[in-house]
Chains A and B, each alone.
Chain A
Amino acid sequence: MNGLERIITALSLKEPDRVPLYIHAINEKPIILIAREHLEGLPDPEKTFYDMNDNEKMLMLEALFLVHEKHDIDGFTSLEFGHEERIAEDEVRDAWGVVYQLNPFGLPVAKHHPLKEKSDLVGFVPPAPKKENLLLLMAARERFRDTKAIFWMMRGTFVLSWRLTGMENLMLKMFDDPDFVHSIARMTYEYNVQMLDLLVEAGLDVLIIEDDIADKNFPLISPDQFKEFINPYNRKLVELGHEKGLKVIRHSDGNLWPLLDILLETGYDGLNPLEPQAGMDLKKLKEYCGDRLCFLGNIDCIDLLPNGTQEQVEETVKQAISDAGEGGGLIISSSNSLHPGVNPDNCIAMFNATKNYGRYPLNRF
Chain B
Amino acid sequence: MTLLEELAQTLQEGDLNDTTGLVNRAVTEGIPAETILKSGLIAGMDEIGRKFQDGEIFIPHMLLAARAMNAGIDILKPLLAESGAKPAGHVVLGTVKGDHHDIGKNLVRIMLEGKGFAVNDLGIDVQPKDFVDAITEEVQIVAISALLSTTVPFIEETIQTLESAGVRDQVKVIIGGGVVTQETAEKFGADAYGQDAAIGAVKAMELIEALN
Give the B-binding residues of A (Cβ under 8 A).
Answer: 101, 103-105, 107, 109, 111, 167-168, 171-172, 174-175, 215-222, 225, 258, 277, 301-302, 306, 339-341
Contact = CB atoms under 8 A, between A and B. Distances in A.
B150 A111 contact: no
Top-3 shortest CB links A-B: A171-B60, A109-B100, A222-B58
8 contacts: A109-B100, A215-B104, A216-B179, A221-B60, A222-B57, A222-B58, A302-B149, A341-B150
Q: Which of B60, B98, B103, B151 has the most chain A CB atoms closer than 10 A to its own CB? A: B60
A334 to B, nearest CB: 11
B59 interface: yes
B55 A218 contact: yes
B196 A217 contact: yes
A218 B148 contact: no
A28 to B, nearest CB: 12
A101 B151 CA distance: 15
B58 A218 contact: yes
Given A168-B106, A217-B195, A222 B150 contact: no
Given A168-B63, A216-B178, A339 B99 contact: no
B98 A103 contact: yes
B60 A105 contact: no
A341 B150 CA distance: 6
A222 B60 CA distance: 8
Interface string B180-194: 010000000000000
B99 A221 contact: no
B14 interface: yes
A167 B103 contact: yes
Contact of A103 (B64, B99, B104): B99
Contacts of A168: 63, 103, 106
User: Which of under 10, 10 to 19, 20 to 34, or 35 or more describes the interface residues of B?
Assistant: 20 to 34
A255 to B, nearest CB: 9
Nearest to A103: B98
Q: Which of A101, A216, A225 has the most chain B CB atoms closer than 10 A to its own CB? A: A216
Contacts of B172: none
Q: Which of B55, B98, B106 has the most chain A CB atoms closer than 10 A to its own CB? A: B55
A339 B58 contact: no
Nearest to B154: A104
Nearest to A173: B60
B67 interface: yes
Contacts of A111: 100
B58 A175 contact: no
B149 A174 contact: no
Nearest to A176: B64
A170 B178 CA distance: 21
A340 B150 CA distance: 7
Given A175-B14, A217-B195, A103 B63 contact: no
B101 interface: yes
B38 interface: no
A111 B103 CA distance: 12
A75 B178 CA distance: 28
Interface in B37-87: 55, 57-61, 63-64, 67
A111 B124 CA distance: 11
